[in-house]
Structures are given as structure tokens and as C-alpha cells.
Chains A and B, each alone.
Chain A
Amino acid sequence: MFVAAIALGLLAGASGLLLGFAAVRFKVEGDPIVEKIDALLPQTQCGQCGFAGCRPYAEAIAAGEADINQCPPGGENGVVALAELLGRDPKPLNPENGTEKPKMLAVIDEQNCIGCTLCIQACPVDAILGAAKHMHTVIAKECTGCELCLPPCPVDCIQMQPVTPSISTWKWTYPVAEVKTQSAAAEAAV
């Protein structure tokens, strides 16, 4: 009885030490699921989901505080990817957060820009270049199309323009020839 108690006590102590060591030695910094969710988000940093950027939204999803259908730039494909990652059922985008739109690019009408720097402060990815009382311009390569620069502009000189397809972005399309189904074949035979 006494021996058994000591043996169990020792065993418990050793396991505790081992677990304690493992907890320190193999500690995971941050929540890996947040990283995985963040990697699936489009990084537009637009805030349409109601959070201050993609990472806060990823953290909210991981904590169960936000749903997976609040990201319009990610679109239906993004919802499906998140659903697959989290083992949930995909659902349509929440219309309260906005609708899926083709990719856009902010363009500053440089004739009308007064150089107020308000858009520079609003841009979440520092994609607007300029200085006080000097003309501003958007670095097209780095613009995510988040539209956050539109409201602060006092002279409404920023416009969202769709990304024009060019020969270098052109893609072969999905083959349109439909596979002939049996019913269609039967109709053709008639």
C-alpha cells in the first residue's frame, strides 16, 4: 500500500516534470490556426469584415467571434477554402459585408489632387506616394483595391478602375465544348 503510493507519486512527479519541460521546450508561439486562416485571406486589408485588417479577422474566426463568410474580396472561393480548413459547411457571403467585385485599382486624378496626404494616411499598405502640397499617386503594383482611400479625399479625385486585361495577364479559358450527355445524344438521334 505504502510502496504503491510512493511508486505512483514518483511516476506522477516524473510525468509532471516531463510535461513541464515539454511545455517550455516545444512551446508554440501564437496560434497556428490563425496563421493558416490568415494565409487564405486575400490580404486586401479593406476592413469590410468589420475588423481592422485581415489578421484581426483571422484571429476572430479562430476565436469563434466571426463567421467565415464576411470577406467579400476573398469571394465564394475564399469561403470554400476557409470552410475546408476549419471543417465547416460553406455558406454564401454575408451581404452585410458587401458583395464580390472584380479586382479594382485606385487611380488618382493628378490634375485635381491638392496634396492633402489624407489618402496616404488611410492606405493600409502604403501604396500611395506623395507629400504635403505635392501631387500624390498610387503605386499600381502595390494597390490592393481596398477603397479605404476614397472616403477621406476632400476633392473626390480618387477613382476605382477595373484592372484592364492585357496580353500578359490573358489566360486560356476553360474549354467551352460541352461533353455530350446521353439525353442530348438521344435528342440528336431523334
Chain B
Amino acid sequence: MQLFPFHGGLKTVRHKTESNQQAIRCAALPQQLHVPLRQHVGAIAKPLVQPGDPVLKGQIIGQPDGYVSAAIHAPTSGIVTAVDKRPVPHPSGMTDWCVSIEVDGQERWIERRPVDYQHLHPSDLRNAVRSAGVVGLGGAVFPSAVKMNLSGHCERLEHLIINGAECEPWMTCDDRLMRERASGIVAGIHILAHLLVPREVLIGIEDDKPEAIAAMVAACAGTGYEVCPVPTRYPSGGVKQLTKLLTNKEAPVDGRSTDIGVQCFNVATAYTIHRAIDYGEPVISRIVTITGHVKQPNNLEVLLGASFAELIAECGGYQDGVQRLIMGGPLMGFALHDDQVPVTKATNCILAAGPEELTPEQPVMPCIRCGACMDVCPADLLPQQLYWHARAKEFDKAQAYHLFSCIECGCCSYVCPSRIPLVQYYRYAKNEIWAQEKEKQRAELARQRHQARLERLEREKQEREAKLRQKAPARAEASVEKSAPTASVTNANATPLTAESPTETVVRNA
């Protein structure tokens, strides 16, 4: 099939063979799990359990809060010991809400109900995916049920892209998954294709994974799904890059991929959709590559909430000279403050980086305007201009250069001869712009509420005055009536209606 190369990109060192030689192994059952309630993009899940509650494997413990949110389930059976803030894998090193479970070791499941998706209404199928807590497992962790709803974006999906590119160095979890569980992935694609009814299904895999390609080709035989080997070039696994590569389509700057009739899911996401629908098993584990400076790099199937330190111990422990622990790949991942943090749905790789894996810390030199960053930028941006404006805190100008089209792939920082931490500047600028936007919304809300209050006070004042005015003539009338009681009595006897006539005049006067 014809491919359409994207602009820029990098040939990086691969480091795949360290971890992709052995089969996926199930990690040992830990004693304690700390399951974060925020493992996805969107609102944090609402806890449904309290300390002391017994939970079963697969039981829902966190309810999605809002449309863009995901459910959280107990990864194994046990007793909830706490619902509190604990360290989570995050670049800030801060704490977040977690449900701690003491594992009883019995692995008692809840009742699993497979769903017959062929005879299900699309919204019910989406709900089934949503309540199974399925999110994008490529690392972006966006709730999949939201992506499975096309309404309002395109009439019909042209291309369903299944992302098995796995372009980051060191990472091999999708490679092993495709080699060993290709039929499960294809079963997941069946469900996605049933719901989205795409014109064609394309499975993009980088050509440095011949075994995975062979396994997927074999599993796809007779289904009409096309396995497309793509050249090994970072970041071919980026959604926009893979879309361009396979279809030559590019989403508009302010649009989504569905606007051009494309939707993309990771292979691991397709696999979890298959487990959720065909077996009734929610997302309670994922495959994690543990590699770098560990004694036996490997891919482990890990329960969510298991501690990083235990997984590293299971891989033989650290080798000497580990300088930094990274979650994700070396280009897009982030350094962790501690290894006592739990695995989440976003944990695709744990990289214990030694001196060879890290670029040596060199002093940052001034930008020499060489343009190397522009040549490698896969989003077709001008990283140098973005850098100048982000550095000078000229955020509106950075936005004019399409700062928000930056996918933070790290190619520019990688090639920069002056070692400028370019991506850090872009992240900083994006965060500041978001914060300013939030602040503006708050100010607008305060303005409206203040305005509403002033209007209310004014209204209440007028009502009070009107009441007073109404009362004053009534009192005056009453005093007149007291002074001439006989007249009013005769009047009332003659025509009862006249009793109301004074008030009528008062109203008219008012």
C-alpha cells in the first residue's frame, strides 16, 4: 500500500531487543494495591467504597464523574484499607486520591457478564465500554467511549486506524501484545468496526517488529483489515503522524481527526475492549515494559495499583548506575520522584535510565538559529519562534505560531545543538495559557454574579418602596374612615362593591 511520509521525525536508537525477547509474564500478586482514582484524562472518578469494605476482583470502586471520565475497578479481591491522598506517578511528584486495598489472595471475581454486541444499541455498547473503564492505553488515557461516539463530527468514518507503531525507543509492550494476543486485538477491532462502520480498517505497525506484523497478518486473514508496515521513524506512533502516513489526511488546526473521517485506537485499547465486551472483564491490569538499567528487562502483566518498586524487584532489581526513573519512553516520558508509586492505565513503560540512556547534562547555550529543530518537527511548526516567544512570555505570539499544535514529541530538544530544553518551554507556555484562561473564566463568573447581586438589591429596594407607598395611602384612608364611621356603614349596606372602590382609586393614583 502507498504511504505518505510526514514531515521531519527522527531515526533514534531502538533498544527494543532488551525487553522483547521473552513472553509477557504475569507479575506476582502484591500484598497491597493503591489504585488512583484519576488514571485518565477528564474528571476524577468518585469513590464508591469506604475503608473496611470488602471488594471483589473487577468490582467498580470509582464512578465516572461526567461525560469525559472513566470508571475504576478493584484489580483483585480484598479489603479496602483507606481512601486517601497518596503519591502517584506524575511529573509534579504530588499526591492524589487513591483507594488502598489489602489483597486477600483469593482472586474472587464479580459475576462477569459478556455482552452480545451484535444485538446491542450503539449507545448501550458505548456504555458497556465506559463502565468497563476503557481508556486509550497508548499513554494518552483518553476515555475510549467518548471517541466511539461520532455524532456531530462526521457522517461516516472513512478510516479506522489501529495504532501498533510503538515508535518510542525501549518500549515493547505493544510489540509483545501483538505477537502473543493478536486474535484478541482483532476481536476488539471487530467490536470497534461494528460500532463505527468504517470504510476501511488500517493497522499501522513499524517495520522493526516483523514478528508482530506476521502475527497480526495471520490474525487478520479473511477479515479485510489491512496491516500496514510503516518505516521506523519517530514519532510515527503519534495519531496525527500515523494518520498522515497511512491516509495522507491532516486534521485542521482547530479540528479533530473525526472531522476528516479518521479515528484511531491503540492495539492495547482494542484488546481491552475485547476483554470488556466478550468476557465482561473491566480494565484492571495492563502490560508494562520494565527496561533500561534493570537486571532482567521484561514485559509484565501488572494489576493497576501495584508499586513500581515491586515490579523492578521482580525484574531482578536495579543495575548499578541508575540515575533517573522514567515513566513512558525517553522522549515523551517524565522523571519520577520516587519508585513507591502505583501503576496506572497510563504506565506503558518504566525505564530505569543510566548514564548511557540519558543525554549528558550539558550547559544550555544560546540559540544559534540553525533551524535543526524546524527540520525535525513532525507537526510542521517553527520551534525556534515558539521558543523565543515562550521564553519572553509572549503567549499570544506563541499561540499565533500554533503552540497548541505541538505534540511535545521532543524531536526538537533531541537535535538542538545548544541543548535548549525546548519542550519544557512549550509545556510551560501551554500551562500558563490554560491557567490564564481559567482565571479569565473565574473573573467573568465573578462579574456576572456581582452584576446579578446589584440588580437583585436594586429590585428589592424598589419593591420595598412600592410596598411602603401602597401602605401609606391605605393608612390615610383608614384614618378618614374612622372619623366618619356612619357614612361608610350606610355605603356598605347599599352596595357591597363600593367597599372596594377606595383601593381601586389608590391603585390608579399609584
User: Do A and B share a complex?
Assistant: yes
Q: Which residues of A contact B (CB under 8 A)?
A: 38, 41-45, 53-54, 124-127, 142, 144, 165-175, 177-180, 188
Query: A54–B365 contact, CB under 8 A?
Result: no
Query: A166–B94 contact, CB under 8 A?
Result: yes
Main SS at interface, chain A = loop
Known A45-B446, A167-B96; contact A124-B428, beta-carbon cutoff 8 A: no
Q: How far is the CA of A167 from the CA of B445 in the complex (A)?
A: 23
The 9 A-B residue pairs with the shortest CB-CB distance, nearest first, are A171-B431, A43-B443, A172-B427, A43-B446, A125-B449, A170-B92, A175-B424, A177-B364, A43-B447
B443's partner among A42, A177, A179 (CB-CB below 8 A) is A42
A126's partner among B38, B431, B452 (CB-CB below 8 A) is B452
76-107 of chain B: CB within 8 A of chain A: 88, 90-92, 94-96
Query: B88–A167 contact, CB under 8 A?
Result: yes
Q: Which residues of B contact A (CB under 8 A)?
A: 38, 44, 88, 90-92, 94-96, 363-366, 420-421, 424-425, 427-428, 430-432, 435, 439, 442-447, 449-450, 452-453
How far, in Å, is A170 (CB) from chain B's closest CB?
4
Query: B446–A44 contact, CB under 8 A?
Result: yes
Query: A126–B364 contact, CB under 8 A?
Result: no
Known A180-B364, A180-B366; contact A142-B90, beta-carbon cutoff 8 A: no
**A-chain residues with CB within 8 Å of residue B363 when the two chains form the complex:** 177, 180, 188
**B-chain residues with CB within 8 Å of residue A166 when the two chains form the complex:** 94, 96
How far, in Å, is A121 (CB) from chain B's closest CB?
10
Query: A142–B431 contact, CB under 8 A?
Result: no
**B-chain residues with CB within 8 Å of residue A177 when the two chains form the complex:** 363-364, 421
Query: B95–A167 contact, CB under 8 A?
Result: yes
**A-chain residues with CB within 8 Å of residue B365 when the two chains form the complex:** 179-180
**B-chain residues with CB within 8 Å of residue A179 when the two chains form the complex:** 364-366, 420
Q: How far is the CA of A138 from the CA of B450 in the complex (A)?
A: 16
**A-chain residues with CB within 8 Å of residue B445 when the two chains form the complex:** 142
How far, in Å, is B24 (CB) from chain A's closest CB?
31
A124's partner among B44, B424, B430, B453 (CB-CB below 8 A) is B453
Q: How far is the CA of A171 from the CA of B430 in the complex (A)?
A: 9
B38's partner among A43, A144, A167, A173 (CB-CB below 8 A) is A167
Query: A175–B425 contact, CB under 8 A?
Result: yes
Across the interface, name the chain B residue whose C-beta is closest to A166.
B94
Q: How far is the CA of A95 from the CA of B364 in the complex (A)?
A: 39
Across the interface, name the chain A residue whose C-beta is closest to B43.
A168
Query: B446–A167 contact, CB under 8 A?
Result: no
Known A167-B38, A173-B428, A175-B424; contact A126-B449, beta-carbon cutoff 8 A: yes
**B-chain residues with CB within 8 Å of residue A125 when the two chains form the complex:** 446, 449-450, 453
Query: B94–A142 contact, CB under 8 A?
Result: no
How far, in Å, is A111 (CB) from chain B's closest CB?
23
